[in-house]
Amino acid sequence: MVCGNGPCLRIGVSEAAEGGRANQATCAVFAKAIGILASTVTIVLGQASRRKTLHILGDPKQLIEKLEKL
């Protein structure tokens, strides 16, 4: 999918948007999809929005390879 700022992913979670639970679930679902630890994924923009920007710790080359497989 392409968004206004380039490629993006749509991630759906069933957790309520209360107390950061939906944000935590978003990070966990994304991490599982690319095979990394949930603790390496954080939301840097959009904590209270439907659109979020994630920061992922790790080797950029390996992360790009994993993302391209999605």
Q: Tokens standing for 68?
A: 């391209």
- The pLDDT tens digits for 13-37 are 999 989 999 999 999 999 999 999 9
Give the number of domains in the chain: 1
pLDDT of residue 63: 92
CA–CA dist 35, 21 (Å, integer)? 21
Q: Tokens standing for 28?
A: 């966990």
Percentages helix, strand, coil for the chain, rounded to the nearest 5? 35, 20, 45
User: Domain range spanning residue 64?
Assistant: 2-68
Closest by Cα among 16, 19, 30, 12 to 70: 30
Q: Does the pTM exceed 0.75?
A: yes
